[in-house]
């Protein structure tokens, strides 16, 4: 690298001075266009840059031992110091010193970060501007100077913040300048840049970004799953940049189609993910084949041991640029986070509603844990929403078609396994849904980062079950984020959003088609009034039949939630789940047999409970005459419930999560230590059936998942009127609250 540095210095010395000056003011205050790097954020970054040995160790995944030398600094520190420091000042003794707190943050000049002011080769500037890239993003600004100085780098920045061009711009600058000096472009020239990525999709995306930014250079993408011939031919025509996955690169080297003997720049993108997908050996084989004189840039979200080892072995005196740090929220600023409580049985229905209400017709990516789930969920959605699955079992060709179709808006929901979570840059994804909890916080960050990219806004929704509450809290702590806990959308919201979306769709109908249908529309309106248009809207929204009712408790279709309220002056006993069942059995015994979960109302002034019943049974029950002082109503909104509060210390003691943990070890924060705490095989929400006494569920026809052992589920003391039933009443009386008799037999009646 030393010689390369020498060359760089000769070629670029004047420019570097300019960049250093720019860097100082740029750091001092961000350009207004960089909305997600506001002043306070930068001040925070600067605080992080207090790079004493101690706090450096605190940087998660970026401990001092992670890096080969103590020569690691945070980019903002590097940047803010560039004015007064030469390249040499980026060396050892600078690093461990505290930053100069007096360093003033002066007003920024937007122009100083403008691509047009960077003195890049005109061709490069033009191509970038044509793509709408007019100003540097923070990670690009942070990487630019040290990269141009030829330094080895280890870098980390939030998702969607422009890491590709962070290494792309300095490398392309050098390549373009050299290209201009060259009189003729040699055919069969060997690649000068190698970018290694862990997935094929990411490789293609990086290639695209580079190609579009420097179309005059030859960039070739190589990855498995497709024919060798096209890739071999492209390589043989002469190439400047090779982007690819390790396996195919090794194959091409072994087949003498790829010679890496002239590589000057190596970029390892998503280095930690290389490990996750088992490429570590291949990466090392490739690195051994590269010339030792080269510049290395390693991008990694975390620093597992292997990545540290790699950095120590192959990087020279690397500079660490960390725009995430330990304290910061690791997600890009524009991402709103929601957590929605679901149940295993109602998940698919809720998912559809979430897509309708939150994406409003925009692009959504749904993440599942397993390939099978991705297929199933995509298929289930496809009834009403255009959707495709993406996972490793799908052929490469089809994967590309699917991704292109999604990019072009041919369908709106992509259901993917984590193969798509890393690095994929699909513009304008409005919504990310974690259908299953991710395996670890990093996966959560990467999945969520598919939205809110390049400074845009987006929403990420985590679907979780009752038994996963604690893990959700751990996730908040680990990621440094806060979820807004919300209920699944009510059917009214779903209908409203559907109608809004249909109206938007109607705007896209071609005027000529409208003309063709106008006479019929006029006739319909004359005959039926606005009802005709309403019918058309209902049909287009997929609601040609009235929406089936939904439980407000667990959102299952075909169920309704009723509220029983009892005037305290008519009874001495408090309402309990058992007494509710007893009462139902007196009024209409099928209701007692079929009742779902019963929750007591939290408001102490109301002696009441809510419970679920199948629609038909609820209808019958609502027609029955009730004893004085009692009311039963269908509710459209749940009142606060007694077991809504935070989990007690006993939470999860008998939950599905704990039961699962016999098979999978977890660390103390609830993550599975092997893959998959959020596995699709996670339990239903029946965890609290066994550990809590305020929420009950009968053995109704839908109670498929609960244990048949133990008595907790024996609401009202009987399994059903079809079993031992009526002879001995084990529940408590709705009238007096005492055990052993029904309200109808109550001595106090």
Structure tokens at 227: 């024919």
Nearer to ligand ATP, 162 or 614 (CB): 162
Three-state SS letters, 34-74:
CCCCCHHHHHHHHHHCCCCHHHHHHCCCCCHHHCCCCCCCC
Decide if residue 330 touches ligand ATP (CB under 6 A): no
Nearest Cα residue to 154 out of 331, 309, 330, 327? 309
Under 8 Å between Cβ of 694 and 555: no
* Min dist. Cβ of residue 426 to ligand ATP (A): 9
**Cβ atoms within 10 A of the Cβ of 673, count?**
11
Site for ligand ATP in 452-491 (CB under 6 A): 453-454
Site size for ligand ATP, by CB under 6 A?
21
Nearer to ligand ATP, 79 or 611 (CB): 79
Under 8 Å between Cβ of 384 and 542: yes
Number of helices (H), then strands (E), in the chain: 27, 19
Site for ligand ATP in 542-571 (CB under 6 A): none
DSSP 331: S
* Min dist. Cβ of residue 127 to ligand ATP (A): 12
- Cβ within 8 Å of residue 85, ≥6 positions away: 94
Decide if residue 162 touches ligand ATP (CB under 6 A): yes
* Min dist. Cβ of residue 64 to ligand ATP (A): 24
| Dist. CA 23–CA 488, nearest whole Å | 47
Output the CA–CA distances (angstroms, integers) from residue 565 to 603, 610, 641, in the order listed.
12, 9, 13
Q: Among the candidate windows 134-142, 407-415, 488-496, 526-534, which touches ligand ATP by CB under 6 A?
A: 134-142
Q: Among the candidate windows 161-169, 382-390, 486-494, 549-557, which touches ligand ATP by CB under 6 A?
A: 161-169
* Min dist. Cβ of residue 299 to ligand ATP (A): 8
The residue from 56, 87, 141, 163 that contacts ligand ATP (CB under 6 A) is 163
Nearest Cα residue to 153 out of 68, 77, 94? 68
Nearer to ligand ATP, 156 or 692 (CB): 156
Q: Among the candidate windows 158-166, 257-265, 574-582, 685-693, which touches ligand ATP by CB under 6 A?
A: 158-166
Q: In the beta sheet, which residues pair with residue 267?
A: 195, 297
Nearer to ligand ATP, 66 or 115 (CB): 115
Nearer to ligand ATP, 449 or 488 (CB): 449
Output the CA–CA distances (angstroms, integers) from residue 426 to 381, 403, 432, in the order listed.
21, 8, 12
Output the CA–CA distances (angstroms, integers) from residue 165 to 133, 172, 691, in the order listed.
10, 9, 53
Decide if residue 165 touches ligand ATP (CB under 6 A): yes
The residue from 30, 146, 361, 423 that contacts ligand ATP (CB under 6 A) is 423
Site for ligand ATP in 484-513 (CB under 6 A): none
* Min dist. Cβ of residue 710 to ligand ATP (A): 47
Q: In the beta sheet, which residues pair with residue 135?
A: 114
Burial of 605 (0-12, 13-18, 19+ CB in 10 A): exposed
Decide if residue 425 touches ligand ATP (CB under 6 A): yes
Instruction: Give one DSSP letter per residue of 585-602, joined into a string.
Output: HHH-HHHHHH---EEEBS
- Cβ within 8 Å of residue 739, ≥6 positions away: 578, 730, 731, 732, 733
Q: Among the candidate windows 76-84, 421-429, 613-621, 625-633, which touches ligand ATP by CB under 6 A?
A: 421-429
Angle between the N-to-C axes of helices 441-448 and 469-479, in degrees from 0 to 180, rounded to the nearest 10? 80
* Min dist. Cβ of residue 161 to ligand ATP (A): 4
Structure tokens at 196: 């290694």
* Min dist. Cβ of residue 421 to ligand ATP (A): 9
Site for ligand ATP in 367-406 (CB under 6 A): none
Decide if residue 302 touches ligand ATP (CB under 6 A): no
* Min dist. Cβ of residue 333 to ligand ATP (A): 14
Decide if residue 211 touches ligand ATP (CB under 6 A): no
The residue from 27, 64, 159, 683 that contacts ligand ATP (CB under 6 A) is 159
* Min dist. Cβ of residue 499 to ligand ATP (A): 33
Under 8 Å between Cβ of 743 and 582: yes
Nearer to ligand ATP, 196 or 491 (CB): 196
- Contact letters (x/-) for ligand ATP, 103-132, by CB under 6 A? -----------------------------x
The residue from 170, 449, 614, 717 that contacts ligand ATP (CB under 6 A) is 449
User: Please, what is the Cα angle at 217 between 401 and 187, to 5 degrees?
Assistant: 105
| Dist. CA 429–CA 410, nearest whole Å | 13
Decide if residue 322 touches ligand ATP (CB under 6 A): no
Under 8 Å between Cβ of 347 and 118: no
Site for ligand ATP in 136-155 (CB under 6 A): 136-137, 140
Nearer to ligand ATP, 209 or 586 (CB): 209
- Cβ within 8 Å of residue 104, ≥6 positions away: 28
Interface residues with ligand ATP (CB under 6 A) are 132-133, 135-137, 140, 157, 159-165, 209, 423, 425, 427, 449, 453-454
């Amino acid at each position: 690298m030393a010689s390369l540095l020498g060359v760089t210095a000769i070629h670029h010395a004047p420019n570097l001075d300019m960049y250093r000056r720019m860097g100082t003011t740029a750091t001092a205050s961000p350009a207004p266009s960089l909305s997600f790097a506001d002043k306070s954020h930068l001040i925070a970054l600067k605080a992080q840059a207090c790079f004493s040995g101690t706090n450096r160790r605190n940087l998660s995944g970026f401990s001092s031992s992670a890096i080969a030398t103590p020569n690691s600094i945070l980019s903002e520190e590097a940047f803010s110091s560039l004015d007064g420091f030469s390249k040499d000042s980026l060396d050892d003794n600078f690093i461990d010193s505290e930053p100069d707190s007096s360093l003033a943050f002066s007003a920024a000049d937007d122009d100083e970060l403008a691509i047009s002011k960077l003195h890049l080769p005109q061709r490069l500037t033009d191509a970038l501007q044509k793509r709408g890239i007019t100003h540097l993003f923070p990670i690009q600004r942070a990487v630019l100077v040290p990269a141009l100085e030829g330094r080895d780098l280890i870098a980390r920045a939030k998702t969607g913040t422009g890491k590709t061009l962070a290494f792309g711009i300095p490398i392309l600058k050098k390549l373009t300048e050299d290209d201009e000096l060259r009189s003729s472009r040699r055919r069969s020239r060997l690649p000068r840049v190698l970018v290694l990525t862990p997935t094929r999709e990411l490789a293609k995306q990086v290639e695209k970004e580079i190609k579009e930014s420097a179309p005059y250079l030859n960039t070739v993408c190589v990855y498995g799953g497709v024919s060798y011939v096209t890739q071999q031919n492209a390589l043989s025509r002469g190439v400047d940049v090779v982007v690819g996955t390790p396996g195919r690169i090794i194959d091409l080297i072994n087949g003498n189609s790829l010679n890496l003997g002239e590589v000057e720049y190596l970029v390892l993108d998503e280095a930690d993910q290389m490990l996750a997908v088992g490429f570590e050996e291949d990466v090392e084989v490739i690195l051994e084949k590269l010339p030792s004189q080269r510049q290395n840039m390693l991008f990694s979200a975390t620093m597992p041991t292997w990545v540290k080892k790699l950095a120590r072995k192959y990087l020279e005196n690397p500079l660490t640029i960390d725009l995430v740090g330990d304290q910061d929220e690791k997600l890009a600023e524009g991402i709103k986070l929601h957590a929605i409580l679901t149940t295993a049985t109602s998940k698919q229905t809720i998912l559809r509603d979430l897509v309708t209400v939150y994406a409003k017709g925009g692009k959504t990516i749904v993440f599942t844990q397993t390939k099978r789930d991705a297929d199933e969920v995509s298929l289930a959605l496809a009834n009403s929403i255009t959707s495709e699955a993406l996972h490793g079992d799908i052929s490469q060709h089809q994967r590309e078609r699917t991704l292109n179709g999604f990019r072009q808006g041919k369908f709106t929901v992509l259901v993917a396994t984590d193969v798509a979570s890393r690095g994929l840059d699909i513009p304008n994804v409005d919504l990310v849904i974690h259908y299953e909890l991710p395996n670890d916080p990093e996966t959560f960050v990467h999945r969520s980062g598919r939205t809110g990219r390049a400074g845009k806004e987006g929403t990420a929704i985590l679907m979780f079950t009752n038994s996963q509450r604690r893990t959700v809290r751990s996730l908040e702590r680990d990621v440094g984020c806060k979820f807004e806990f919300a209920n699944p959308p009510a059917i009214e919201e779903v209908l409203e959003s559907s109608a809004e979306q249909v109206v938007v769709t109607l705007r896209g109908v071609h005027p000529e088609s409208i003309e063709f249908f106008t006479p019929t529309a006029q006739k319909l309106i004359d005959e039926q009034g606005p009802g005709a248009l309403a019918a058309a809207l209902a049909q287009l929204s997929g609601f040609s039949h009235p929406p089936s009712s939904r439980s407000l408790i667990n959102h299952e279709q075909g169920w309704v939630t009723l509220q029983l309220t009892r005037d305290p002056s008519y009874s001495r006993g408090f309402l309990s789940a058992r007494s509710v069942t007893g009462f139902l059995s007196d009024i209409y015994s099928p209701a007692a047999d079929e009742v779902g979960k019963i929750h007591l109302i939290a408001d102490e002034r109301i002696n009441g409970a809510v419970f679920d019943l199948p629609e038909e049974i609820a209808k019958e029950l609502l027609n029955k005459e009730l004893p004085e002082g009692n009311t039963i109503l269908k509710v459209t909104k749940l009142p606060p419930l007694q077991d809504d509060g935070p989990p007690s210390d006993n939470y999860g003691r008998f939950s599905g999560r704990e039961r699962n943990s016999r098979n999978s070890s977890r660390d103390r924060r609830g993550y599975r230590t092997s893959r998959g705490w959020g596995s699709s095989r996670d339990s239903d929400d029946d965890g609290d059936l066994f550990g809590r006494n305020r929420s009950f569920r009968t053995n109704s026809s839908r109670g498929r998942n609960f244990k048949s052992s133990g008595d907790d589920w024996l609401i009202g003391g009987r399994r059903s009127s079809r079993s031992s039933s009526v002879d001995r009443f084990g529940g408590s009386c709705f009238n007096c609250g005492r055990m052993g008799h029904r309200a109808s037999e109550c001595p106090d009646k």
